[in-house]
Chain A
Amino acid sequence: MAEEKPAASLEKSAKYDISVNRAWCKNCRICISFCPTGVYTENELGGPIISFPEKCNNCQLCVIRCPDFAITVKPKEESKRTHNGP
């Protein structure tokens, strides 16, 4: 299962672990279009690139609107210690 994660350089500043299951994603662009903070950009197929993971505020909208059960957003282990996030 190809779990796609943000580039390592981007991941450092992010508070949440975002991953896209490439094998299940059907490139519908819902996550990209409706993300309130603009975490995703579009790849050549219309699928999401996790370009700005640091913008994620864990609203979970991309997760619950993903028709393909392909997105996971979880608080990072260390972020649990420094934030009072959900």
Chain B
Amino acid sequence: MSKDIKEYLRLDKFPHIWCPGCGHGIILQAVLRAIDRLQLDRDNIAVVSGIGCSSRAAGYVDFNTLHTTHGRALTFATGIKLAKPELTVIVLTGDGDCSAIGGNHLIHAARRNIDLNVIVFNNSIYGMTGGQYSPTTPTTDYAATAPYGNIDNAFDLCELTRAAGASYVARSTTFHAAQIPLLVEKGIKNKGFSFIDIITACPIYYGRMNKMPDAVDMLKTQRDNARNIKQWDIMTAEEKQGKFVIGELYNKPAPEYTDAYRQLREKTHAL
């Protein structure tokens, strides 16, 4: 019997700090639903986050929670997973946190295929500092530090982590909230590096600067631009223009890092 999702919350910390219409709460709820579906022992779950709006999520959930430094959540998570491989380690991070200041850690954690589950609250903006452009802000969009339009190219974080060696890669949006728990569940079940990119809305900073001041508008944009992987595969390059793919994008089990280290230890015992 699944629990009321609120049982996983630290209720005394609510209401949360996120702005009206911010999609972070939708993602957090979806992650809790995935955990609930898996019936994991919450004593054996470590939730690690970095710095930024997304990373406040760790403080709201009743697990072993670690709020670390900007961009470095994956490094702490790596230490935790190596020290206690029996823990399920979930990293809650943002686009700036994991792909700008933490970009190096992201590709190397993926390369190792260490059993960490990364959920990116990808709102294409630095919300906590007031709306500066991030590595996932689309080119020509506006931000507090891109008052004349962004000239940077955006990262596709799923392509990036897949190329780097992640064994499970998926994407969804907060509009597709019902899909997120299924992807997170599969990600957690995957013994290896699982990367789940969730497109979410920051109406207050990103939206207001890009003619979508309303959370509802932003969700509609997600609905209109997201294409399921099956559909995506048969779309032409022209049709893909301005659209993005969601669903399970890559799922290929590969040797996991803490397993490999355990085997290495056994090898030295035999010496």
Encode contact with A along B168-197: 1 for CB under 8 Å, 0 otherwise: 000000110110000000000000000000
CB distance from A3 to the nearest CB of B (A): 12
Contacting residues, chain A, for B219 (C-beta < 8 A): 30, 33-34, 65
Complexed CA–CA distance, A68 and B20 (Å): 8
| Chain A interface size, under 10 / 10 to 19 / 20 to 34 / 35 or more | 10 to 19
Contacting residues, chain A, for B16 (C-beta < 8 A): 68-69
The reply to whether B216 and A67 form a contact with Cβ atoms under 8 Å apart is no
In the complex with contacts A26-B20, A34-B219, A68-B177 CB distance below 8 A:
no
Q: Say if the beta carbon of B24 comes within 8 Å of chain A.
A: yes
Pick from B18, B22, B178, B216: contact of A29, CB below 8 A: B216
CB distance from B15 to the nearest CB of A (A): 4
In the complex with contacts A66-B26, A67-B21, A30-B15 CB distance below 8 A:
no
CB distance from B94 to the nearest CB of A (A): 15
Q: Say if the beta carbon of B84 comes within 8 Å of chain A.
A: no
CB distance from A65 to the nearest CB of B (A): 5
Q: Say if the beta carbon of A64 comes within 8 Å of chain B.
A: yes
| Chain B interface size, under 10 / 10 to 19 / 20 to 34 / 35 or more | 20 to 34
Encode contact with B along A26-43: 1 for CB under 8 Å, 0 otherwise: 111110011000000000
B21, B22, B174: which has the most chain A beta carbons within 10 Å? B21
Q: Say if the beta carbon of A10 comes within 8 Å of chain B.
A: no
* Closest chain B residue to A29, Cβ basis: B216
Q: Say if the beta carbon of A7 comes within 8 Å of chain B.
A: no
The reply to whether A61 and B215 form a contact with Cβ atoms under 8 Å apart is no
The reply to whether B214 and A68 form a contact with Cβ atoms under 8 Å apart is no
* Closest chain B residue to A74, Cβ basis: B4
Complexed CA–CA distance, A36 and B172 (Å): 20
* Closest chain B residue to A23, Cβ basis: B15
Complexed CA–CA distance, A34 and B16 (Å): 22
In the complex with contacts A27-B20, A61-B177, A61-B178, A68-B216 CB distance below 8 A:
no
* Closest chain A residue to B217, Cβ basis: A33
Interface of A is mostly: loop
Pick from A26, A64, A66, A69: contact of B178, CB below 8 A: A64
The reply to whether B26 and A67 form a contact with Cβ atoms under 8 Å apart is yes
Pick from B25, B177, B214: contact of A69, CB below 8 A: B25
Q: Say if the beta carbon of B120 comes within 8 Å of chain A.
A: no
Complexed CA–CA distance, A66 and B22 (Å): 10
Contacting residues, chain B, for A34 (C-beta < 8 A): 216, 219
Contacting residues, chain A, for B18 (C-beta < 8 A): 67-68
* Closest chain B residue to A60, Cβ basis: B178
Complexed CA–CA distance, A30 and B216 (Å): 6
The reply to whether A26 and B177 form a contact with Cβ atoms under 8 Å apart is no
Contacting residues, chain A, for B21 (C-beta < 8 A): 26, 28-30, 67
A residues within 8 Å of B by Cβ?
23-24, 26-30, 33-34, 60-61, 64-69
B residues within 8 Å of A by Cβ?
5-6, 9, 14-16, 18-26, 29-30, 33, 174-175, 177-178, 203, 214-216, 219
